[in-house]
Chain A
């Protein structure tokens, strides 16, 4: 039985989500745009999912646009703002996901000014620097609510105040936060926000974009009246239903999930501190997702440790895997001041739904020996 401690990469599909999707595939395969009974039945399922997703983030169902991924949703949001605004300055942080970095870089190539605001050694955004950089030419500030690698959670409400004071747009990438911490668009003060089902026990290929009423969206994918002309293409109905079901479960179970994953994460960290010499935790211990633990094993290659653990039936993550599967030192760890050696020695553990104490204890039993072996190699 494998031990999966990589829930920030993706999560297992919840059985109730799988059932709901299966029912869609088998019984409710109509086209939501059709005016027939089959179409109406499919449309009802999609509408219900929209309400479930809206409830997860405290929004109106009308404000939710279904997409193929959070990446697509980020692209749609950033390009929409760029088109709608005559301002040409775009700010983000040094620890964004590539699905924000790359669309912004593309805007940069087209003549916009793109600036990344630094973070402190725990990964929290430098608000002083943000205050200095936000000006009346600033169209948008994009910030990752919870970082995928170190789990640091940003103070979005304070950020929102700074951003809105000057009339700029606040885009929040909540992909890694949903299902782990409460996410409420009003409390956050966001203008747009994105998420993806597979990070909270839903299916892959189902993301969403929330846009506050009044935000003008330009479709990123054109070709039909779907999603009120905000996203063309026949709806991925089973994926959307899976997303909706996963959103509902995440909303209802959130307090339990957060407590459980934090308890296991803390047990893991305490055990590592006790059993493995030469370790340090990357990122904030205070403002952090309940399930995420990023640890540097001094003098060991994280990439190799990952393989050794994989061989023992334990799934974790190291750095950022690129197209070939080769692992590059993480830009996030570099942004919080770790040198390339330290970044290479770091592993991410992320707990989730099916983990338990016995699993954590098995990992803790193996780690000291495996780390020692990996350290012999790294020299």
Chain B
């Protein structure tokens, strides 16, 4: 009890299992909570992941609960996800889920349960700037697993009360740790990137959720407006996408933009996909304040993107203009642009489109 009571979000995967185990080892009184978000198999709820988490909790000898957030998750995460696709964007629900949903609700729960902090199995670190006694969000040390991109939206007051026990570990070490501790989740495969989209078929999810709002068939056009073919609904497409266009052209064409107003998919050649800058909205700063205009940073425009050097120009109203040193390819509205300064995540925002 000396190290404090802490609530750990446990998904039933190996990462959060080890996160909980490490905190128990460090002397914390740990309470495991599985957030039941989606994944209903029958009319009740899916069993396996919660059951895996429960077994790990039993093994660690900690209190464990399953919390039902299905309705709220649907309202706050899944439906906005579908609506974003219908608006021609490529949403990234995990960021919204993390700040507005996961950490928000886990922290509330922690408060009610008398706990000081919340922990998850994310691969990211939280350091402290001794000069300002302020938290700093840092990349996880495993470059292949670093999840800081999904966490840029966390506010300083949240960072103060969050622990990421896995931030200093590599995935391999986490699995070894799980094996050594005899955790049943040690060999569990990686989960899908979006937990509520089975087999990555997001278009079907959109169609099931918003059958009345589907855009229907439309035209595929080139950058001059010439009609090249037809498509079955813009929600099937993402900027940068090449496959699935059904066009036979001499050189490969890619989705350059989605135009929900005219229900059009605009395609272009590879060299036309570059953008010298991006306009972002809804910016969030992990230090609480935006940096000065002209701040150099490395900017990721999607999770698996090699961060590109750029200068940031924060404006009023949560807007940020990002000027890249070299044009970046396939800037997709709806994705997050995340700003790094060395190891630190400065913040990020939502891509609205290229700078004109």
Contact = CB atoms under 8 A, between A and B. Distances in A.
A234 to B, nearest CB: 31
Given A324-B45, A324-B51, A325-B50, A377 B112 contact: yes
B51 A326 contact: no
A311 B45 contact: no
Given A303-B67, A311-B63, A323 B113 contact: no
Task: List the 4 closest pairs (A to B, CB-CB), nearest first.
Answer: A324-B50, A326-B36, A325-B66, A322-B44
A131 interface: no
Interface centre among A304, A324, A327, A376 (most CB of B within 10 A): A324
Given A304-B109, A310-B63, A377-B108, A326 B114 contact: no
A308 B33 CA distance: 13
Contacts of A374: 112
Interface string B61-93: 001011110110000000000000000000000
A328 interface: yes
Interface residues of B, number: 24
Nearest to A304: B112
B112 A373 contact: yes
B113 A308 contact: yes
A304 B69 CA distance: 12
Contacts of B46: 324
B176 to A, nearest CB: 29
A322 B45 contact: yes
A326 B113 contact: no
Interface in A330-379: 340, 373-374, 376-377
B47 interface: yes
Contact of B113 (A303, A307, A324, A376): A307
Given A310-B63, A311-B63, A325 B54 contact: yes
B111 interface: yes
A323 B66 CA distance: 10
B342 to A, nearest CB: 37
A308 B65 CA distance: 11
A340 B70 CA distance: 13
Contacts of B65: 307, 310, 325
Interface in B17-62: 31, 34, 36, 44-47, 49-51, 54
B112 A303 contact: no
Contacts of B70: 326
Contact of A324 (B66, B109, B111): B66
30 contacts: A303-B68, A304-B112, A307-B112, A308-B113, A308-B114, A311-B31, A311-B63, A322-B44, A324-B44, A324-B45, A324-B47, A324-B66, A325-B34, A325-B50, A325-B65, A325-B66, A326-B36, A326-B45, A326-B50, A326-B66, A327-B66, A328-B45, A328-B68, A373-B114, A374-B112, A376-B111, A376-B112, A377-B109, A377-B111, A377-B112
Contact of B45 (A303, A307, A323): A323
A344 to B, nearest CB: 9
Contacts of B113: 307-308, 311
A300 to B, nearest CB: 9
Contact of B44 (A303, A310, A323, A377): A323
